[in-house]
Amino acid sequence: MNIIEKINEKFPSDLTVEDIEDKYPPRPEGQIVTRIAPSPTGMMHIGSVYAALISERVAHMQDGVFILRIEDTDTKREVEGATDIIINGLKNFGIEADEGAISRTEETGDYGPYTQSQRRDIYIAYIKKLIEQGDAYPCFCTPEEIDDIREKQTKQGMRTGYYGDWAKYRNAPKEIIQENIDNDKPFVIRLKSSGKHFNKRMFEDVLKGKRNLPENDSDVVIMKATGLPTYHFAHAVDDHLMGTTHVIRGDEWLSSLPLHVQLFETLGWTPPHFAHISPIEIMDDGNRRKLSKRKDPEASVTFYEEKGYAKEAVIEYLMNLANSTFEAFRVENPDKSVWEFPFDLQKMGRSGALLDLVKLDSMSRDYIGRLSAEEVYAQLADWASLMDRDLYERMQANKEYFINIFKIERENVERVRKDFVNWSTIWGEIDYFFDDVFPPIDGYVEKETELSSDVVKGFISDFIESYDDTADNETWFATMKDLAITHKFAKNGKLYKKEPENYNGTIADAAKILRVALTGKAQTPDLYSMMQTMGKERVVERLKLSL
Ligand code: GLU
């Protein structure tokens, strides 16, 4: 039995390379095809969303195809449910794949399966082809032997790896190989590398430019003992068969480029274009460093979900990290969707983009500021249904009231009020509209306004008498102003400054009495609009609490 027969025995399949090539015909000439190829290892990194967004844009800006491929060949690292986290995560961010996994069990597209563990027979067909070509061979080294090689190399100050004379089974005598096959010894399949480490070769990366890198001389494992391929091999096979034209991925893979190009070439294929994205960085104690899965909560998309950043706001922010021209686009096109921005891969910076949460906050404020009151309600309710059930239930029970609160300084105003940073902060900004939360504290109005109890109470009780909630803003203000004047508040600041001893303050101070009495806060949105939203009954009741 030779090694091919051994593979057939262990991993039976009749699938041939010819069958496969027939099944996956080349894509139409000139069509752009990109993909995101995450591994289901648990958390979803914001960097994956960033790479997915860039890949999706490159395809969809040019009527191309964007694929979602699940790279689950590393079964040791796989985490239950992680595939759904990826699929739903991307969908939630509005990043839609044309082909690929839709759920753990469903997929769409003609170039599948799109989950690597379901493609084993495909890889095996190519593994056998490489063995027949003389470009791959079995290696029977035990893990201990591999460790031993590494130790020896380290001791001798040499580069570690399975290459050159260290590649024990590369040139092993036929009889030894046969003996191992006959004894059913576990094996992996390795690439017989033709590269020379001292040879440098120029690689062209779409983002990094020309890179002079040493050829790969390592006989890397391409098929594991389980019959599953390694990432490197699966990447070459899949991206060839799926017709990927642009591999856009994190630059941690840049050093593997010589190996990947070698694999494509050994298989007889033209490599796709590669674009290696610099990682997202953060400032740590004055130094820039890569966002870390372990150290930084903001590396995970759950951070943004929990804080309640609108998905679209996060996408806008990532778009801005990718192309700094996005900001100008947003200013010029306040009503356009982020998906209308003319993203340009060439305009991405070569070095890492810096994650700046203050900037994200400001973009998020702007985003919420552009929504209608009804949209704020709907998106907040969606978020609260998952993250804050009390708020969600309160919203269900008081839908109109909430929408009216969101209308304040949002509709019919020149500049929309931007006090909502993200969904998780909204409740804290509006809770005083609700009677069970509004806490009247004895003497609070006097303290906050620095006015005597007589002045406060006198003004409030007359205001209650005169309050007409059907009056328009101007009329209401004129009435309030007249009333304030009779309560010895100066018409304007100038008058007050001249003779402060004769006044209790200005009209603004009188308004402050009402504001504090109604909300318990010195800073609030427009007083008239708030009173309209609260309704006369609530306004009067609250004012009476300060008498
Ligand atoms: N599965 C690899 C990862 O999660 C994908 C790398 C690639 O895009 O080629 O890093």
Q: Which atom of ligand 1 is nearest to the CA of 239?
A: 9
Q: How far is CA 185 from CA 163, 263, 415, in A?
A: 22, 26, 75
DSSP per residue, 371-427: S-HHHHHHHHHHHHHHH-HHHHHHHHHTHHHHHHHHHTTTSS-SS------SHHHHH
Contacts for 87 with CB less than 8 Å, ≥ 6 apart: 68, 101, 102, 103
Ligand 1 mean position, distance from CA 392 (Å): 38
Q: How far is the CA of 464 from the centre of ligand 1 (A)?
A: 67
Separation in Å, CA 297 to CA 46, 87, 144, 542: 10, 21, 37, 42
Q: How many Å separate Cα 416 from the centre of its chain?
A: 27
Task: Please list the residue range(s) of the chain that carry CATH number 1.10.1160.10.
Answer: 283-369
Distance 342 CA to ligand 1 centre (A): 26
Taking CA atoms only, the protein residue closest to ligand 1 atom 5 is 37
Ligand 1 atom closest to 35 (CA):
8
> Which segments within 479-538 are labelled E, that is strand?
489-490, 505-506
Q: What is the model's pLDDT at position 495?
A: 92
Q: Which of 33, 34, 36, 39 to mutate to test the pocket of ligand 1 (most atoms within 8 A of CB)?
A: 39
Distance separating alpha carbons of residues 79 and 82, to the nearest angstrom:
6
Q: Is the CB of residue 7 less than 8 Å from the CB of residue 124?
A: yes
Cα→Cα distances 123→13, 69, 142, 244, 253, Å: 11, 15, 23, 17, 21
Q: Is 213 helix (H, G, I), strand (E, B) or coil?
A: strand
What pLDDT is recorded for position 271? 98
State the closest ligand 1 atom to the C-alpha of 36, by its place in the atom list counted from 1. 8
Taking the CA of residue 235 as reference, the ligand 1 atom at the shortest distance is 9
Q: How far apart are CA 486 and CA 492, in angstroms?
A: 14
478: enclosing H helix or E strand: helix 473-486
**What is the β-pairing status of strands 33-36 and 65-68?**
parallel
Instruction: Please state the atom number of ligand 1 nearest to the C-alpha of residue 51.
Output: 8
Residues with a CB atom less than 6 Å from ligand 1: 37-39, 71, 231, 235, 247, 249, 253
CATH value of 438-544 in 3.40.50.20, 1.10.10.350, 3.30.450.40, 3.30.530.20: 1.10.10.350
Q: Are 307 and 422 in contact (CB under 8 A)?
A: yes
What's the burial of 306, exposed, middle or buried (CB within 10 Å: 0-12/13-18/19+)?
middle
* Distance from the alpha carbon of residue 140 to the mean position of ligand 1, in angstroms: 28
Q: Is residue 279 within 8 Å of residue 234, measured between CB atoms?
A: no
CATH architecture designation of domain 283-369: Orthogonal Bundle (1.10)
State both tokens at 547: 């008498």
pTM of the model: 0.89
Question: Residue whose CA is closest, atom 10 of ligand 1?
Answer: 38
Q: Are strands 505-506 and 489-490 parallel, antiparallel or unpaired?
A: parallel
pLDDT given for residue 349 in this prediction: 82
Alpha helices in 139-192 (DSSP H): 143-155, 174-182
Q: Are strands 33-36 and 489-490 parallel, antiparallel or unpaired?
A: unpaired
Q: Assess contact for 322 and 353: CB atoms under 8 A.
A: yes
Confidence (pLDDT) at 200 = 96
Residue 494, sorted as left (phi over 0), alpha (psi -120 to 50) or beta, turns out to be alpha
Q: How far is the CA of 317 from the centre of ligand 1 (A)?
A: 23
SS (H, E, C) 54-107: HHHHHHHCCCCEEEECECCCCCCCCCCCHHHHHHHHHHHCCCCCCEEECCCCCE
Atom of ligand 1 nearest to the CA of 41: 4
CATH class, range 121-277? alpha beta
473-486 helix and 453-466 helix, angle to the nearest 10 degrees: 140
Q: What is the CA(390)–ligand 1 centre distance, in A?
A: 40
Ligand 1 mutation target, pool 36, 72, 249, most atoms within 8 A of CB? 249
Residues with Cβ within 8 Å of residue 51, at least 6 apart in sequence? 36, 248, 249, 250, 277
Residue 147 Cα, ligand 1 centroid: separation in angstroms?
26
The full 3-state SS of 17-31, as one line of letters, equals HHHHHHHCCCCCCCC
Write out the residue limits of the CATH 1.10.10.350 domain(s) in the chain: 438-544
What number does the ligand 1 atom closest to the CA of 248 have? 8
Strands 65-68 and 246-250: unpaired
The CA 38 to ligand 1 mean position distance, Å, reads 5
How far is residue 164's CA from residue 122's CA, in Å, rounded to a whole number?
A: 29
Angle separating helix axes 453-466 and 507-519, nearest 10 degrees? 80
Computed over its alpha carbons, how large is the radius of gyration of the chain?
33
How far apart CA 166 and CA 177 sit, in angstroms, is 17
Burial of 375 (0-12, 13-18, 19+ CB in 10 A): middle
Report how far ligand 1's centroid is from the alpha carbon of 367 (Å).
Answer: 31
By most ligand atoms within 8 Å of CB, the mutation choice from 231, 252, 254, 257 for ligand 1 is: 231
Pocket test for ligand 1, best of 71, 230, 257, 260 (most atoms within 8 A of CB): 71
Q: Tell me where in the chain the CATH 3.40.50.620 domain(s) lie.
A: 121-277
Q: Which residues of the chain have pLDDT under 70?
A: none
pLDDT at 74: 83
Q: Distance from the CA of 36 to the center of ligand 1, in angstroms?
A: 7
250 Cα–ligand 1 center, Å: 8
Cα–Cα nearest to 207, from 167, 251, 267: 251
Distance between Cα 39 and ligand 1 center (Å):
7
Q: Alpha-carbon distance 301 to 344, whole Å?
A: 24
**What is the whole-number distance in angstroms between the Cα of residue 37 and the centre of ligand 1?**
5
For atom 3 of ligand 1, the residue with the nearest CA is 38
- Which atom number of ligand 1 is nearest to the Cα of residue 231? 1
